[in-house]
Structure 1
Amino acid sequence: MTLRAAVTAQSTTVSRSVKEGQDFFPLTVHYQEKYFSSGRIPGGFFKRERGATEKETLVSRLIDRPIRPLFPEGFYNEVNVIAQVLSYDGENEPDILAMVAASAALTLSGVPFMGPIGAARVGYKDGEYILNPTDAQVAEGDLDLVVAGTHDAVMMVESEAKELSEDVMLGAVMFGHREMQKVIDAIIDLAEEAAKDPWELAAQPDTSAMKTKLKKLVGKDITAAYKLTNKSARSNALNESRAKAKAAFADAAPHDQMVANKLVKKLEAEIVRTAILKDGRRIDGRDTKTVRPIVAEAHFLPRAHGSALFTRGETQSISTCTLGTKDAEQMIDGLNGLRYEHFMLHYNFPPYSVGEVGRFGAPGRREVGHGKLAWRALHGVLPTKEEFPYTIRLTSDITESNGSSSMATVCGGSLALMDAGVPIKRPVSGIAMGLILEGKDFAVLSTSWVTKIIWATWTSRWPARPKASPACRWTSRSPVSPRRS
């Protein structure tokens, strides 16, 4: 796929069979920037492309988020989506091209993909929106927003902005969604000419009898468990219900056991969503608008340059700010050559923060993505390098999590910056929102719990300054009208 002087190669590979016992959709997206695309040789000792850079990880997530919800439930074939930048003009970011190419490849492949999607970058300067601005226009403007969606719905938004109102931000989303329709129509025209025959999907078995049995067996127990406000007590009660359901199908075939486990999860989601829509009450007893208790303490660590302990309900971040000289700036080697970054934000989400054991090491894709969202939220309030010629490193270590830890990072990071004496323009806070949608009934939730974030139809994270939004992230788990969302 070509845009001006940028070329992206797109490959989609799908396994024809499902692994035995597979009960989830194994979609993997890889975006890679080839250095030869801009006439460069990689720096460092290893003169070849190696592991994913931060940018490659972030773009891989941009591609993944809008396409993942568009595969049908029960489709468990492994899918690889690979996007490689083969030619780069140095002016136009190839991420939009990669997203469109992924959509086109999936649409042509014949797999059960309920697309296509389109994508657009939106800039804003002097009161005017700019469609797919160049790198220079983004740097000079007030907005860098990426939006992806289907013909009828917005699926994903990612943005960084400078002192823009929510009305301007929402207008940018609508502008991008309107303009991407041309791309969607072009992919449909291409598919009519070149698409492979659609896959024949096996009919889904009737599980209504099994669902009825499980509802009678553990429905009341699950309902009672979700009325417990203490997380540990609730988890124990839910585990007992799940064990009870598992025991009821202990003698069943392995496939039936797998189906039963998934039906229990669906039953939990149904019970929680129904309670919210019917009674307006959440798991912890709050209504849909009440924010969880907030406790914040600055100068939490005596030897750190700046620190803060930020707690919101059962989500907590230890944030630190360390200052250094110009020599401490991060050197980044990319398609445009070497550049230096004086502001870094590192977000860490260890498994113990959610009471689990697991891998402890280099940050995963989720940690990179959440850290970048917080970086965007705080970057706009920093002083210029002329005003404050120091390198700034923020860290956020999540010690417990039952909600949006990225927004806790924004709040804690803002406090840590001020504690370190960084003259920021104004404080920044953040909140996670969720949308529960069933037909015409809906509920908008503030400071969502992890459970509701997983089961929400749509989620958003909104860092905010007074009367302005410095960044936002929307993710839809099913097609939702942009005007309604």
Structure 2
Amino acid sequence: MFDVKKVEIELGGKTLTLETGRIARQADGAVLATYGETVVLCAVTAAKSVKEGQDFFPLTVHYQEKFSAAGRIPGGFFKRERGATEKETLVSRLIDRPVRPLFPEGFYNEINVIAQVLSFDGESEPDIVAMIAASAALTISGVPFMGPIGAARVGYKDGEYSLNPSMDDVKAGELDLVVAATHDAVMMVESEAKELSEDVMLGAVGFAHDACKKVVEAIIKLAEKAAKDPWEMAAQADLSAAKQKLRDLIGADIAAAYKITDKSARSGALNEARAKAKAAFADATPQDQMAAQKLMKKLEAEIVRGAILKDGTRIDGRTTTQIRPIEAMVGFLPRTHGSALFTRGETQSICTTTLGTKDSEQMIDGLTGLSYENFMLHYNFPPYSVGEVGRFGAPGRREVGHGKLAWRALHPVLPSKDEFPYTIRVLSDITESNGSSSMATVCGGSLSMMDAGVPLKRPVSGIAMGLILEGKDFAVLSDILGDEDHLGDMDFKVAGTSAGITTMQMDIKIAGITEEIMRKALDQAKEGRAHILGEMAKALDSTRTELSAHAPRIETLQIDKSKIREVIGTGGKVIREIVAETGAKVDIDDEGLIKISSSDVNQIEAARKWILGITQEAEVGKIYDGKVVNMVDFGAFVNFMGGKDGLVHVSEIRAERVEKVSDVLKEGQEVKVKVLEIDPRGKVRLSMRVVDQETGAELEDTRPAREPRSDRGDRGDRGDRGPRREGGDRNRRDRGGRDGGGRGDRGPRADGGSAKDDGEPGGLPDFLTQD
């Protein structure tokens, strides 16, 4: 029934299987990719015609994780998969970025790529499997896809690279790098690194490319068995005459416009040139007008790229390695925990850092189960940042991707939870954009965290590199403008510290780049990052030693695990009482680590003392703060150390005689007490009279010491006290007759006296039986 085609290869110690012909047979291309016990289905469908007037390529990629793949039911109120999570959005972009440049110019048919995780083995991330499945499905679908591409993840630990490591190995290692590449060139790089050198990063890319080649060869074998007939592309019209007409008409205007350094003025000049071209084609057909608009963009690209390759002249007059002017300031927002304003040329970001407690951690429900993240970075790109009118609301895929890139750049330099037990949220609001706003977020985010007192290992800076490639001639551009990004061939972002790279992201608009170009870009980026770090240091060169007055304080306290139950109390009664009474937040883990947090240090101290009172033992001779909890005729019971009670005898309340306890004390009154004695049963004897109730200082005890008991001498023979009851208790009289549960015949008590003879051994003495 099924005409199944399949290929298998060994990759990173596991078998990769690509299968088609069994599932989703009505799609243009569908591949079931299996790696270990992780299975991803990717289906590709393409529209057979182009919508009228469409002049762009509508490629849409959706990646979805099924909870059933890991044997889980979604948490929360809704028990089915809902909108895309952050991870699903990021993986969708990860698939989109390397395949989009591999469609031919002028192909505008809508394409839908849907990748679904059907089984997850809990070891390797399914994103690599999804990328491979998408590439294979596109390759066999018949659409004009100039692939295939392969994908691989690389880890690095103890000087060794590893291919497609497990999630645990990635966390324990120094690198998490994803590469997508054709057989001949690298198309995309995404990474997070723990301050690694340029050589190590470049070696990792090469290591991944070798693995990608094996994947590409396997996809080609599958295509040889199962690929559909390729689509016939419509012949492209000869537009050379129209292009020359535009060059003669507005070529000089465009060249002059791109020599204007101010973005607004440059945009105005370009719009005038475009209006002039539009007027020249006013009588043409709609198709010719649309073609003229595309030719206009091509003409702009040729003029800008030619000037850079010919004499190194960039749009704003800089050299290829020059960085735009930088201005940074910190602490300019009075009530935030940390803030920074970072401006580089016409790109600007307001970054704020907020510190929170464990309660503020982000809960993530995914294939691996519930997890918690204590570092968040959110990026916003309002339309006014580029002087436009547009949608303002929830972040789109671009904002999510840019925020995650900055997150990866800063995450490796954060302190551990033990060193800094705070939840950290960095917010980046882009207020101007002409160039890489994600790298401005890295710089501003680093400064704002340092301003907030987060002890980063080292400051982090980031830079965006561009590329102009024509044949064998190329130029690498440092700190690219927005127009250089649009008109260039590469967007290569590198961030790191003075010690090494923390993240690297590369997107290529052409069919890949060589190792020579990538090495030059990395070396040039290193120089640029060092310059930016120097400019950042002018604003703040090290982390502040004090937290903001508005930030919560967190104090950690380690207790014995056996005391956890006492601190929590039955049903959480004790810990709720601590929180209610002191106002501080208290968190305790299974290892006995307690975190006490509040913006008021007095609340923290009160909670700390309370907990110590529960977990520590009282010391004889030490003075404690206490509270009267009960009064009796012979004294008062005082609670001290939070969870301990002791008795202040009436004679220990004051130096002078106290007739009635209630004349001096009342319930709830706070007092200072000294521990006089702790008996073997744990009962505590306290004193107030030897403590100054105002200062807590110890007073001299003027009362004469209690004399020891005198020797009472020989008390003589006490006579026969009767037979000892079985068990040896001579102090209890023999009741007799209780064998078998009966009490025996006690006789009549007409006179109300004892039934036993007064002289009977074991009977009551005469003075207790006389009327």
TM-score (ref. length: structure 1)? 0.99
Q: Counterpart in 1 of 2:44? A: 12
C-alpha displacement of 1:230: 1.1
Amino acid at match of 1:337: G
Amino acid at match of 1:139: K
Give yes or no for the alignment of 1:349 onto 2:378.
no
C-alpha displacement of 1:46: 1.4
How do 1:112-127 residues align onto structure 2 when only pairs under 5 Å count?
Answer: 112-127=144-159
Separation (CA, whole Å) in 1 of partners of 2:280 and 2:81: 52
How do 1:82-481 residues align onto structure 2 when only pairs under 5 Å count?
Answer: 82-481=114-513
Separation (CA, whole Å) in 1 of partners of 2:35 and 2:320: 45
Amino acid at match of 1:31: Y
TM-score (ref. length: structure 2)? 0.63
C-alpha displacement of 1:279: 1.3
Separation (CA, whole Å) in 2 of partners of 1:181 and 1:437: 24
CA contact (8 A) 1:246 1:257 kept: yes
C-alpha displacement of 1:256: 0.4
Amino acid at match of 1:77: N
**Deviation readout 1:338-358 (Å, 9 max, x if unpaired):** 100000000001111000111
C-alpha displacement of 1:458: 1.4
C-alpha displacement of 1:467: 3.1
CA contact (8 A) 1:117 1:184 kept: yes
CA contact (8 A) 1:350 1:360 kept: yes
**Deviation readout 1:186-241 (Å, 9 max, x if unpaired):** 10011011100000111000000100101111111111111111111111110010
Separation (CA, whole Å) in 1 of partners of 2:513 and 2:487: 18
C-alpha displacement of 1:184: 0.4
Give yes or no for the alignment of 1:49 onto 2:81.
yes
**Deviation readout 1:41-84 (Å, 9 max, x if unpaired):** 11121111111100000000110010000000000000001100
DSSP 3-state at the match of 1:163: coil
Separation (CA, whole Å) in 1 of partners of 2:514 and 2:73: 43
Amino acid at match of 1:76: Y
CA contact (8 A) 1:123 1:131 kept: yes
Separation (CA, whole Å) in 2 of partners of 1:403 and 1:51: 31
DSSP 3-state at the match of 2:495: strand
DSSP 3-state at the match of 2:457: coil
Amino acid at match of 2:240: S
DSSP 3-state at the match of 1:478: coil
C-alpha displacement of 1:105: 0.3
Separation (CA, whole Å) in 2 of partners of 1:30 and 1:100: 14
DSSP 3-state at the match of 1:171: helix
What is the Cα-based RMSD across aligned positions, in Å? Answer: 0.7
Separation (CA, whole Å) in 1 of partners of 2:427 and 2:103: 36
How do 1:16-35 residues align onto structure 2 when only pairs under 5 Å count?
Answer: 16-35=48-67
Separation (CA, whole Å) in 2 of partners of 1:398 and 1:157: 25
Amino acid at match of 2:259: K
C-alpha displacement of 1:457: 1.1
C-alpha displacement of 1:163: 2.1
Separation (CA, whole Å) in 2 of partners of 1:160 and 1:456: 25
Separation (CA, whole Å) in 2 of partners of 1:258 and 1:243: 14
C-alpha displacement of 1:360: 0.6
Separation (CA, whole Å) in 1 of partners of 2:514 and 2:153: 16
DSSP 3-state at the match of 1:358: coil
C-alpha displacement of 1:251: 1.1
C-alpha displacement of 1:300: 1.5
CA contact (8 A) 2:352 2:426 kept: yes
Separation (CA, whole Å) in 2 of partners of 1:6 and 1:480: 29
Task: Give unmatched runs, 5+ long, in structure 2.
Answer: 1-32, 518-771
CA contact (8 A) 2:90 2:400 kept: yes
Separation (CA, whole Å) in 2 of partners of 1:101 and 1:362: 30
Give yes or no for the alignment of 1:80 onto 2:80.
no
Separation (CA, whole Å) in 2 of partners of 1:3 and 1:199: 31
Separation (CA, whole Å) in 1 of partners of 2:168 and 2:340: 36
Amino acid at match of 1:475: D
**Deviation readout 1:290-340 (Å, 9 max, x if unpaired):** 100000001010110000000000000000000011000011110111100
Amino acid at match of 1:166: E
DSSP 3-state at the match of 2:509: strand
Separation (CA, whole Å) in 2 of partners of 1:2 and 1:33: 15
**Deviation readout 1:239-289 (Å, 9 max, x if unpaired):** 010011111111111100000000001100110000100110111111101
Q: Counterpart in 1 of 2:70? A: 38
Separation (CA, whole Å) in 2 of partners of 1:330 and 1:136: 20
C-alpha displacement of 1:480: 2.6
Amino acid at match of 1:340: Y
Percent of paired sites with the same residue = 74
Amino acid at match of 2:216: I
C-alpha displacement of 1:482: 3.2
Separation (CA, whole Å) in 2 of partners of 1:388 and 1:464: 21
Separation (CA, whole Å) in 2 of partners of 1:459 and 1:398: 19
Of residues 458-467 and 309-318 in structure 1, the stretch that sits farther from structure 2 once superposed is 458-467
Amino acid at match of 2:333: L
C-alpha displacement of 1:483: 1.2
C-alpha displacement of 1:174: 0.5
Separation (CA, whole Å) in 2 of partners of 1:9 and 1:32: 10
Deviating beyond 2 angstroms after TM superposition, the runs of 4 or more aligned structure 1 residues are none
Separation (CA, whole Å) in 1 of partners of 2:150 and 2:408: 24
CA contact (8 A) 1:430 1:464 kept: yes
CA contact (8 A) 1:174 1:482 kept: no
Separation (CA, whole Å) in 1 of partners of 2:273 and 2:154: 48
CA contact (8 A) 1:18 1:77 kept: yes
Separation (CA, whole Å) in 1 of partners of 2:139 and 2:332: 52
DSSP 3-state at the match of 2:511: strand
Separation (CA, whole Å) in 2 of partners of 1:178 and 1:160: 20
Separation (CA, whole Å) in 2 of partners of 1:84 and 1:376: 25
Q: Counterpart in 1 of 2:18? A: none
Higher-RCO chain (CA-CA 8 Å, sequence separation at least 6): 1
Task: Give unmatched runs, 5+ long, in structure 1.
Answer: none
